Amino acid sequence: MLKGRNLINPDDLTVSELHEILSLAQKIIESPFDFSDSCRGRILGTLFFEPSTRTRLSFEAAMLRLGGSTLGFSEALSSSAAKGESLIDTIRTVACYADILAMRHPKEGSAALASEYTTVPLINAGDGGHYHPTQTLTDLLTIVETKGDLENLTIGLCGDLKFGRTVHSLLKTMTRFKGNRFLLISPDELQIPNYVKRLAFDEKALSVDYVELERMEDVLPELDVLYMTRVQKERFFNEADYVRLKDSYILNAKKMRHAKEDMIVLHPLPRVNEISLEVDSDPRAVYFQQAKFGMFVRMALILKLLGVE
């Protein structure tokens, strides 16, 4: 039963619950108007203490397309956080007005803390460089819709694997499906943190095959999925390091010639420089479709957590 639950960590959902959400999202894609009244009278609260385009707007679009309404704030400065209100008090308050909450906050662990004080389902829409479970649902739906399966894939994760919360969540989740292989492509300084490796690889019942490497070109021809990421400027301690590392990887049409015909390129977006514009017209580039799948999967998640199917 998903009704009434929070979604804070990617592991909060079992594999069968993941499938349940994905198949509801697929039903919604097939006949979206069957759901246009499902959440009439319900309110989604969006608490965004950090910038967002896709996550916040796709959550709002999801609730509106389900016939519900939304309220919230899109920056800390326009909430009472600017007056010194604690996160806990803000959550307690907004939970009085909304039936379900989506929260993004720059501090790792903030969503887990908030979940102890909310009286309605709380969804983590990103907590610092930690996790972003609804981006993972988005990524999973995109992979299922384009590759047909979540198993036996060779997946390259490329870019800022240290601070990228979407990578941490996706890795923790995709290691739970059989037969996947992971090629972790990053500069030395931006490798996956040990705590994520431990959770994603060492503590799994399945033994997971992964390699850490620096050059994308060395593995591009092997990949079924290439997950590109932005270097997370806002999480760096100094500007010079960011400037040095920001253009470590740039995927362009020339590199794409070495990839499989049916490889897909994902990116949670926003993109800065890591994918050249010329790649956008390649049918393997599915990152804007991915943004749309994000809305459908959030519709499914809202329905499940509110228990209004």
Of residues 132 and 172, the one with the C-beta less far from ligand NCD: 132
Yes or no: say if 157 and 182 are a contact pair by the CB < 8 Å rule. yes
Closest contact distance (angstroms) between CB of 34 and ligand NCD is 27
Task: Provide the 10 A C-beta neighbour count for residue 212.
Answer: 14
Of residues 174 and 208, the one with the C-beta less far from ligand NCD: 174
Of residues 168 and 176, the one with the C-beta less far from ligand NCD: 168
Beta-sheet strand order (sheet of 100-105): 69-73, 43-48, 100-105, 122-127
Of residues 68 and 126, the one with the C-beta less far from ligand NCD: 126
Of residues 218 and 234, the one with the C-beta less far from ligand NCD: 234
Q: Count of alpha carbons within 13 Å of 194, Cβ hemisphere only?
A: 0
Whole-number Å distance between alpha carbons of 104 and 128? 8
Yes or no: say if 243 and 236 are a contact pair by the CB < 8 Å rule. no
Closest contact distance (angstroms) between CB of 44 and ligand NCD is 17
Of residues 42 and 246, the one with the C-beta less far from ligand NCD: 246
Of residues 53 and 86, the one with the C-beta less far from ligand NCD: 53
Sign, CA torsion 136/114/233/183: negative
Task: Tell me the longest C-alpha to C-alpha distance in the chain.
Answer: 54
Of residues 109 and 270, the one with the C-beta less far from ligand NCD: 270
Q: What are the φ and ψ backbone dihedral angles of 163, each rounded to 5 degrees?
A: -95, -10
Whole-number Å distance between alpha carbons of 284 and 48? 32
Closest contact distance (angstroms) between CB of 205 and ligand NCD is 28
Of residues 42 and 230, the one with the C-beta less far from ligand NCD: 230
Rule CB under 6 A: which residues touch ligand NCD? 54-55, 126, 132, 135, 165-166, 230, 232, 268-270
Whole-number Å distance between alpha carbons of 231 and 163? 8
Closest contact distance (angstroms) between CB of 55 and ligand NCD is 4
DSSP 226: E
Closest contact distance (angstroms) between CB of 41 and ligand NCD is 28
**Alpha helices (H) in the chain, listed in sequence order:** 15-30, 54-65, 87-97, 110-115, 133-147, 165-174, 194-197, 239-245, 253-256, 287-306
Closest CA relative to residue 158, chosen from 247, 286, 51: 247
Q: What are the φ and ψ backbone dihedral angles of 73, each rounded to 5 degrees?
A: -135, 155
Closest contact distance (angstroms) between CB of 134 and ligand NCD is 8
Residue whose pair of structure tokens reads 């017209």 in the numeric block: 281
Closest contact distance (angstroms) between CB of 46 and ligand NCD is 13
Closest contact distance (angstroms) between CB of 54 and ligand NCD is 4
Closest contact distance (angstroms) between CB of 231 and ligand NCD is 9
